[in-house]
């Protein structure tokens, strides 16, 4: 495995770099001597220590604006000559029961978490294909493992991201480009404090109270720097995994959910297999 002292500096393109996990990834990359294109809606150079100088390129852009995304990716590639690691970290969270979501709220959740990552992936692939190398890291979530009460649309956006990324990994491999889906657990960021809530519907009051009780008894979140250390280990690996879980809680949950799904599939195997029987193509009676 290469180390910061034996390899050339690499260029990172990180969305949502102004705060939370995105900022932790950016700082970790800069501290090891790499270059970082720090993208956020409002990120400025003052958000990073002046010691990093020209190795950091702050760019303001809204990832839901496809044209703006292509423009900042082109500017980054022109400035540094190449892109090595693209981290789709920008995200938002809407909290609410499925029935409560307005159309505007549902679409807004998908715009950032799915379409934003799609536009960045599309824009970056041009440069990565040309150089026939690179690593796209899609930041998913514990919400990408399963759907949970009050975060169903958030999970839907992460499920969409993961489905797209699995296909992308196979397509990009043709050009020597790697793709990894990262599923973090809880970290001390402002994701929860900045989330948007739907208008509560009275019938869900008891469920909300139960969820509040569970969250009050929940685990303490982790320092984002631990996620950044894991990110460095990931991008330094010559054979990175297609999926990476961050944290013991999310690790255990992933296996628990997988076992439940396998039990469902196995329990209904007879019905599943009976639903398939090859027959000749029906005659055209039109």
Active-site positions read 140, 154, 158
Does this model's pTM top 0.85?
A: yes
Tens digits of pLDDT across the chain (286 residues): 445 556 789 999 999 998 889 999 999 999 999 999 999 988 766 777 777 888 999 999 999 999 999 999 999 999 999 999 999 999 999 999 999 999 999 999 999 999 999 999 999 999 999 999 999 999 999 999 999 999 999 999 999 999 999 999 999 999 999 999 999 987 666 656 667 899 999 999 999 999 988 877 766 678 899 999 999 999 999 999 999 999 999 999 999 999 999 999 999 999 999 999 989 988 876 6
Domain ranges of the chain: 11-268
Q: What is the pLDDT of residue 51?
A: 77
The reported pLDDT for the residue numbered 42 is: 82
CATH superfamily of 11-268: NAD(P)-binding Rossmann-like Domain (3.40.50.720)
Question: 238 and 4 in contact (C-beta within 8 Å)?
Answer: no
The pLDDT value recorded for residue 1 is 43
Length of the chain: 286
Chain mean position to CA 137: 7
Alpha-carbon separation of residue 81 from 41, 109, 122, 181, 191 (angstroms): 24, 33, 18, 26, 33
Cα of first residue to Cα of last residue in the chain, in angstroms, is 63
């Amino acid at each position: 495995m290469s180390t910061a002292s034996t390899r050339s500096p690499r260029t990172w393109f990180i969305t949502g770099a102004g705060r939370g996990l995105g900022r932790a990834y950016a700082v970790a990359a800069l501290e090891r001597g790499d270059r970082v294109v720090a993208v956020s809606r409002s990120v400025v150079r003052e958000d990073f220590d002046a010691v990093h100088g020209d190795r950091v390129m702050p760019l303001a852009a809204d990832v839901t604006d496809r044209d703006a995304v292509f423009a900042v990716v082109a500017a980054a590639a022109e400035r540094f000559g190449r892109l090595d690691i693209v981290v789709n970290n920008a995200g938002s969270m809407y909290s609410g029961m499925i029935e409560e979501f307005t159309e505007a709220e549902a679409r807004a959740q998908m715009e950032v978490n799915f379409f934003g990552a799609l536009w960045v992936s599309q824009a970056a692939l041009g440069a990565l294909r040309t150089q026939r190398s690179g690593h796209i890291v899609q930041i998913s979530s514990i919400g990408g493992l399963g759907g949970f009460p009050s975060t169903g649309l958030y999970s839907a956006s992460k499920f969409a991201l993961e489905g797209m990324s699995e296909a992308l990994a196979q397509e990009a491999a043709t050009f020597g480009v790697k793709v990894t889906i990262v599923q973090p657990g809880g970290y001390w960021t402002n994701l929860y404090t900045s989330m948007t809530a739907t208008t509560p519907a009275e019938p869900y009051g008891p469920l909300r109270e139960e969820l509040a009780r569970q969250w009050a008894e929940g685990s303490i979140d982790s320092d984002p720097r631990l996620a950044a250390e894991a990110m460095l280990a990931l991008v330094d690996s010559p054979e990175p995994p297609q999926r990476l879980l961050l944290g013991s809680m999310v690790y255990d949950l992933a296996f628990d959910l997988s076992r439940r799904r396998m039990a469902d599939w196995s329990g209904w195997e007879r019905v599943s297999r009976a639903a398939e029987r090859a027959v000749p193509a029906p005659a055209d009676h039109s």
